[in-house]
Amino acid sequence: MMSKPINTVAIIGGGPTGSALAFHLCKAGKKVVLFERRTVPPVTVGESLVPATIPFIRELGIEEEVRAYSTFKPGATFVFNEEESLSFSFAGIRGAATEYSYNVPRDKFDLSVERVAEKTGALIVREAARVERVGSEERVRLAEESIAATEGFLKEQPDLIVDATGRVRLLPNLLRLPFKHGSRRDTALFAHCEGVNQVIEGNVHTDILERGWAWRIPLPGKMSIGLVIDSDHIKTFGSTSEEQFDNYLKHDPITKLWGPDPKRVTPVLKYTNYQLCSERGYGDGWVLCGDTFGFVDPVLSSGLLMAFDSAKALATAIIAGGGETEMKRYEKHVIKHLGAWHQTIDHFYSGRLFTLFKVGENVKETIFGKLLNLHFQKHLPRVFTGEATTSRYSVWLVDFMCKHGLMEEDPTELRVR
């Protein structure tokens, strides 16, 4: 691991992860170069922020700016079928530290975070960094042309290279690092649409479909729509992503409830490489951060929280010295946090999570229910909001109740097929 203090850091990828990391490091006096060849896609996964993200954007000093161009997000709505749905308000969660959030246009949001990094002292290099493997070892270095592109800011190899390239996974692919893949093999098709209804204005909506599930994220003047469906099944709806997306919207009884004539206003983008987490997060002179380290699933909107949380944790490790002890602590923190989300998301797909909520609604007026309700209200919803996903007890309680607290209710009725 590192044998000398980390003073110069090259971050590859200028999205929220890389930019937030650069902000924290520059504040601590580190010399940071951020390689970002900006290509703005028409839509980007990760437009809905969980409330636990808000303290991070406050620390960055951009909440007022974000509020001005975003949609206020008061809560979440889950639609199970044509008759059943569940909504909850963040303000009604017992013990909530933050009672709201935002749905953000990602092009504007990413620029907000990047500008903060630049103002704090990071050099932004508008090209992709070239990274070379050193022989057969698990060591890497910046190519000479990438060092030259910093125009003297870096005069030699940086003390640390951070991969924040997201699902490009530059270093994991270059070094062939081991990873774990989740149980799902879904395809996510997503686009922006007009003419799509909401159950509760501003809420992020999660709809259980005939096969798979969908998100509806209200943005200013439009709706972000995502279809997450078994890869083989979605292929039966057309030969292109656009055909599959458009035809499925016309097919499913749930999507038909969204409005008589939804109009797609962007191309359709497709992702298949998620539910994938690296088993190692650092090595000799390099470290992974954000989605590059692991991306669990788009459901429950954990992506940007994980981006900011891992950036802050890595900055803390680097500022503390960046040695083996600090990096091991960082790696353990991220793996544990990813595991907590993965566990909860598995209960979502199995149907146990929302069966538990239905059981809670049915028994909350009983003596037994009243005794337990206040306790559960503090822990279960705060796992959804991200405020309790680093709490060992809260995560354990959700897992225990999903496995043992369903009172003989059949969870398969709410499972995602």
Q: Is the model's pLDDT at 47 over the cut of 80?
A: yes
The tokens describing 128, both together, are 């992709």
Q: Residue holding tokens 């919207």?
A: 249
**Greater confidence, 397 or 59?**
59
Q: Locate tokens 């060992």: which residue?
A: 392
Question: What phi, psi does 268 have (nearest 5°)?
Answer: -100, 130
Of 16, 15, 39, 42, whose CA–CA distance to 222 is shortest? 42
Q: Mean of the pLDDT values across residues 273-285? A: 86
User: Which amino acid, 381?
Assistant: P
Residue range 169-201, pLDDT digits in tens = 999 999 999 988 877 889 999 999 999 999 999
Sign of CA dihedral 403, 408, 409, 414: positive
Per-residue DSSP letter, 128: P
Collapsing DSSP to helix, strand or coil, 112 comes out as helix
pLDDT in tens, 77-115: 999 988 889 898 999 888 889 999 999 999 999 999 999
The pair of structure tokens assigned to 126 is 């508008």
Element (H, E) at 141: strand 140-142
Nearest CA among 356, 350, 347, 344 for reference residue 409: 356
Mean per-residue pLDDT over the chain, rounded: 91
Distance CA 19, CA 252 (A): 40
* DSSP-derived secondary structure letter, 223: E
Domains of the chain: 8-70+105-179+277-340 (3.50.50.60), 186-271 (3.30.9.100), 351-414 (no CATH)
Does the pTM surpass 0.85? The reply is yes
Taking each helix axis as running N to C, give the angle between helix 392-404 and helix 352-363, from 0 to 180 degrees, rounded to the nearest 10.
Answer: 80
With beta carbons less than 8 A apart as the criterion, state whether 75 and 200 touch: yes
Question: What pLDDT score was predicted for residue 297?
Answer: 85
Who's near 270: CB < 8 A, 6+ residues apart?
Answer: 187, 188, 189, 241
3-state secondary structure of 151: coil
Pairwise CA distance, residues 224 & 264, whole Å: 10
